[in-house]
Amino acid sequence: MGLRAEHELHRRRRGRNTGLGLVLLVFAILVFGLSIVKIRQGDMMQGYDHRPQVSRLPVDADASKGDPGRVPVAAPGTPAAEALQKDMP
Amino acid sequence: MEAQFGDYVALLKPRVMSLVVFTAFVGLWIAPVEMNPFVAFCAVLFIALGGGASGALNMWYDADIDAVMRRTRNRPVPAGRVTPDEALGVGLFLSGLAVVMLGLAANWFAAAFLAFTIFFYAVVYTIWLKRSTPQNIVIGGAAGAFPPMIGWACATGGIGIESLLMFALIFFWTPPHFWALALFMKDDYSNAGVPMLTVTHGRTVTRRYIFAYTLVLAPFALALGLTPVGGPVYLAVAVVLNALFIRGGWRILCRTEDQAAADSYRAEKSFFRLSLYYLFAHFAALLVQHAAGGW
């Protein structure tokens, strides 16, 4: 008997592999779709260090009038602004 | 015999999963915080996957019981198509995957809630309670009642009176639903040595319990209609269904075992069928009410 003869075992294995392949494909599509949605929504991408980051804070337009070199800074009254105040020497 | 792909799907108990999907979706959809539809879809999918994973863990541990019961002896593990180790591996892997993905898709509170639910079903119910107490169905029923709360938590990031009442609705519905099944599938549980109420306390006591639970259930079902997610449509459905459910419980209470055996457990089977419609209709009514606007 030639090696090409298909056994029941091969049929089952192929079904399993096809099924797993499809599951992985769907999973990849889901992760990709989730990434797109999360980026479009502007969800936190760098929130891991629990510290306000100046680059992610709303710019205070008035602050640039006096000293352009200081922008961007946190908007006054926000928790981030208070944290920056504390950090300042 | 080597397993087919369908055997691994069967490990996840697709029929139970359909209830999880539906109730979790309703909990998520009627919550006051709107979610992006794709994120909502993914969240429900991962909740379902977590539910399926706990089903696989249940099949791993209960293979000996499943092999004895007629209803379950053809499941992949007792039938020998999937080894217990494989079922354990699938259950653990999918549990971890579902929890992490739900955390990334929705929020980590909902993910922790899902992890707790899987633990509750696999360890508290399957390993601990199921074989040791006739109250197994009562306490273990909590695992099946968590999905709408998880769905709600995905949208809101917390718990509300509405989600607690949805939990109570499923929690108090579960015992009469399963005890009615135990009344007419009588040999299965006793053969397997599972301490169902019918086996430990007798069938007359079980009938009493079923009726009592229909009475306890009704106020929770109606109270949900008075919350912001309720409204006239839901309340009307709840009033009718709870009246029917209490009447069904009363009929079961009034029957003797001889009467039930004489007509092949007609009232018990009809109550069991009604209990399926009961839960589906309550949650469907919440969806309709949400679309129509609440109070």
State yes or no: pLDDT of A20 exceeds 90.
yes
Tell me the chain B residues in contact with residue A9 when contact means C-beta distances shorter than 8 Å. Answer: 2
The minimum CA-CA distance between B38 and chain A, rounded to whole Å, is 7
For residue B90, pLDDT over 60 is answered with yes
Which residue is associated with the tokens 């092949």? B264
* Count of other CB atoms within 10 angstroms of residue B192: 20
**Residues 6+ away with beta carbon under 8 Å from A79:** A52
Residue B199 has pLDDT above 80, yes or no: yes
Chain A closest CA to B236's CA: distance in Å? 38
| pLDDT score for B194 | 82
User: Could you give the percent of chain B with pLDDT greater than 70?
Assistant: 99
Nearest to B265 by CA among B276, B275, B257, B253: B257
Picking from B3, B5, B105, the nearest residue to A34 by CB comes out as B105
pLDDT of residue B184: 87
The answer to whether residue A52 scores a pLDDT higher than 70 is no
Contacts of B5 in chain A (CB under 8 A): 15-16, 18-20
Q: Could you tell me which residues come within 8 angstroms of residue B114 by beta carbon, excluding any fewer than 6 positions away? A: B46, B47, B50, B98, B99, B102, B150
pLDDT exceeds 60 at position A15 = yes
Comparing CA positions, the residue from B228, B218, B213 lying closest to residue B282 is B218
Q: Is the pLDDT of residue A71 over 60?
A: no
Chain A residue with Cα closest to B107 = A43
In the predicted structure, residue B17 carries a pLDDT above the cut 60: yes
Tell me the shortest Cα–Cα distance from A72 to chain B, in angstroms: 30
Among A66-70, B6-10, B117-121, B129-133, the range scoring the smallest mean pLDDT is A66-70
Residue type, B55: G
By the 10 Å C-beta count (0-12 exposed, 13-18 middle, 19+ buried), B163 is classed as buried
**Residues from chain A contacting residue B4 (CB–CB below 8 Å):** 12, 15-16
Report in angstroms the alpha-carbon separations of B256 from B122, B155, B203, B208, B259: 36, 48, 9, 11, 5
Is the CB of residue A19 less than 8 Å away from at least one CB of chain B? yes
CB contact under 8 A, A16 and B3: yes
- Contact B55/B16 with Cβ under 8 angstroms? yes
Distances in whole angstroms, Cα of residue B131 to Cα of each of B68, B93, B171: 14, 25, 20
Torsion of CA B105, B144, B280, B186, to 10 degrees: 150
- pLDDT at residue B241 is higher than 90: yes
ipTM of the complex: 0.82
Q: Which of A6, A8, A13, A16 to mutate to test the interface with B (most CBs of B within 10 A)?
A: A16
Q: What's the CA gap between B286 and B278, in Å, rounded?
A: 13
Q: Measure Cα distances from B255 to B17, B241, B251 in Å.
A: 34, 21, 6
Of A9, A30, A37, the CB nearest to B2: A9
Between A42-46, B33-37, B66-70, B154-158, the lowest mean confidence (pLDDT) is in A42-46
CB contacts, 8 Å: B86 with chain A: none
Provide the token pair at B28. Answer: 């998520």
CB contact under 8 A, A18 and B45: no
- Residues B14-26 have a mean pLDDT of 93
pTM of the predicted structure, to 2 decimals: 0.83
- Token readout for B118 is 């899987």
To the nearest whole angstrom, how far is the Cα of B212 from the nearest Cα of chain A?
Answer: 45
pLDDT at A80: 66
Nearest CA in chain B to A12: B4
